[in-house]
Amino acid sequence: MRIFLLITIYLLTNTCFGQQREQMCSKQKSGHRIAKSGLLSTFDTERIKQYDLHYANFYLSTTNTSSFLGGHVNLHASCFNLDTMVLELHEDFLIDSILVNQEKTNYARRKRTLYILVNQTNKFQTSIYYHGTAPTNSNNPLGGSGLSNDFDRNTNTLITYTLSEPFSAYEWWPCKQDLNDKIDSVDLHITIPSTCKVGSNGMLVGVTDNENDSHTFHWKHRYPIVYYLISMSIAPYVDYSFKVKPNHSPDSILIQNYIYNTPETLRDNKSDILKTGDYLCYFSDLFGLYPFHKEKYGHCLATLSGGMEHQTMTTLISFENQLVAHELAHQWWGDHVTCSTWSDIWLNEGFATYTEYLMLGKFDIEKQQSKLNGFHDNILSEKEGSVFCSDTLNKSRIFSRRLTYDKGAAIIHTLRYIINNDSLFFGALRDFQQKYSFRSASVQDFKKSIEQFTNTSLEAFFNEWYYGEGYPTYSANLENETLSIIQENSASVTDLFTTPLEIAFSRYNLSDTVIRFEITQENEKITISPALKLKEIIAIDPNNYLINQVALYPSAIDTLEMNLLIFPNPATEKLNIIQKNAGNYEVNFIDNTGKNIYAADFTKEILIDTHLYPESNYTIEVRNKETNRRYQKLITIVNKK
């Protein structure tokens, strides 16, 4: 009787049973904003919770010359008294048949939603046989990226590849688009032309030659995986592989790269490809051993814009260092631990973006400060906006460059500053990765985990920097023994940013110093001890820990000085000179005899190689070429032993 009632409901909502294709109908709008899928109704979203997926076995055929796809997918699941299994598959695919426990069953179809009558009370298997051409942007403007066929003009290579995040997996396979139901393991048997290779998740355990100028690749993945990270990429690739062994790894890890079959591809990219191994070892130290170390990590080249962190085998357009680092970082932040809703996307993209900054600090220090400045410049281009994503049906908002990526990364730097202990900070990140290993987690889960590990309350940090909007503008004035700090905020949503503020001072007959001040109100007045011998303010937030701007306060020093950062002092190898307000500047490097030994123009920042000069005291002079205002600072060079 229950099945009969379900059939009646589906018929009344214009769904027809059988194997024929249904007619197109208009898109229905949904008010459900925190969504598991951008396509399911609230009713269907609840129904997919009634079963758990454990295993997926793909048997598909495709080529690198079109986006036609055919075959079947076997899904193993468990349930408690389930009548109807709900899946998603794009309406452009024809369904040949559906089997439950190897017997044909009835099903209903309403556009992309499949209702499969299973009538199961425990474990069961469902096999969906289908074929068709995947949708494109032209006929599916809200998606069309699930399976793409494209041409790389530089190498004359045709490529077919998948890109399922956030809601496009249904555009190439019948799936359950639920971030909290990771599939325990996956096998992919992909039949392709014999001239091609297909890259995918896990380990390549076999290639079987067929009679029709094709062969079948069998990829085996035995780690939990969320729906949008299952992938395949098909082209006439060549395999360039090597191994690395991170600290604490029981064995070496395979780095397997499918690259275009031209001599130039390997020649031009080999050195950058090899850096992947260095990054993997470094990130293993930061976040814990590479999560999928028993299988591999690797890349498939394709024409997508940027990269996509498919589990164990990223798809990317090039081997640009920061792109490689970003997608590799996702193997921890997004793959190993996955955001539990799209509103929690910060856990994926914010941390992957911040890891680009960390990578530069280890392997390309000269670019690191520019990276952080770039985050801040983009964030400051608008006055409002929260890292928290409330509209999870809006793909452009989920993946906002300014808010999700750049502000998301910048506030992690702020969190690191608040914890104020790198050993504790990275220990907390490793603890979180271990605690939610191969699971999904929310931002609140992360907050609770970091608070417990560091014994630090982060309520204000999340309310102000994550859920809050905008940024502060600071003014400061040192007069006699009173320091005044004024804060004005760009967005009215956040009244006050209470994060402690660092201010750098010059001192009478003493070296420069940086002092951290607690912020409890918009206008702080702090009595300074005469013993500190503070002379004047050099910079507000000299290490760029906070997203902020600096304004001139009445009787404060000139804005040239207020916005100028010169560090470190003493300098051992490099001296950074950064002017927060871009303009037309010159720098002069003067030795203790008064000789100008280095001069250069700059607009925002410049780096001086101090190891080229002997140990001594020097004067740095920065001049605004438009106003002719000058600032001088005494610095010391100490050569590393």
pLDDT on residue 638: 85
| E strands in 490-560 | 501-507, 510-517, 523-527, 534-540, 549-550
How many beta carbons lie within 10 A of that of residue 21, not counting itself?
Answer: 14
Instruction: Tell me if 1-23+34-140+164-230 shares its fold with 560-641.
Output: yes
pLDDT on residue 569: 85
Break the chain into its structural domains and give their ranges: 1-23+34-140+164-230, 236-331, 344-466, 471-557, 560-641
Convert the pLDDT of each residue in 178-199 to its tens digit: 999 999 999 999 999 999 999 9
pLDDT on residue 16: 38
- Structure tokens given for 262: 């031209």
pLDDT on residue 7: 43
- Structure tokens given for 7: 């059939």
Which parts of the chain sit beneath pLDDT 50? 1-36, 553-557
Pick the CATH number of 560-641 from 3.90.1150.10, 2.60.120.340, 2.60.40.3080, 3.40.50.150: 2.60.40.3080
Q: Does domain 1-23+34-140+164-230 have CATH number 3.30.70.1400?
A: no
Task: Beginning with the edge strand found earlier in the chain, give each strand of the sheet holding 596-602 in spatial order.
Answer: 596-602, 585-590, 616-624, 630-637
Q: How far apart are the first and last CA of the chain?
A: 84
Q: How far apart are CA 186 and CA 526, in angstroms?
A: 61
pLDDT on residue 113: 95
Quickly list H helices, 391-442: 395-398, 408-419, 422-435
Q: How far apart are CA 603 and CA 588, in angstroms?
A: 14
Contact 303, 233 (CB under 8 A): no
- Structure tokens given for 164: 């399922």
Convert the pLDDT of each residue in 287-343 to its tens digit: 999 999 999 999 999 999 899 999 999 999 999 999 999 999 999 999 999 999 999
121 phi and psi angles, rounded to 5 deg? -120, 0
Report the CATH number of the 344-466 domain.
1.10.390.10
Q: How far apart are CA 504 and CA 539, in angstroms?
A: 5
Which position has the token pair 């991170």?
246
Contact 172, 69 (CB under 8 A): yes
Report the CATH number of the 236-331 domain.
1.10.390.10
Topology given in CATH for the domain delimited by 471-557: Immunoglobulin-like (2.60.40)
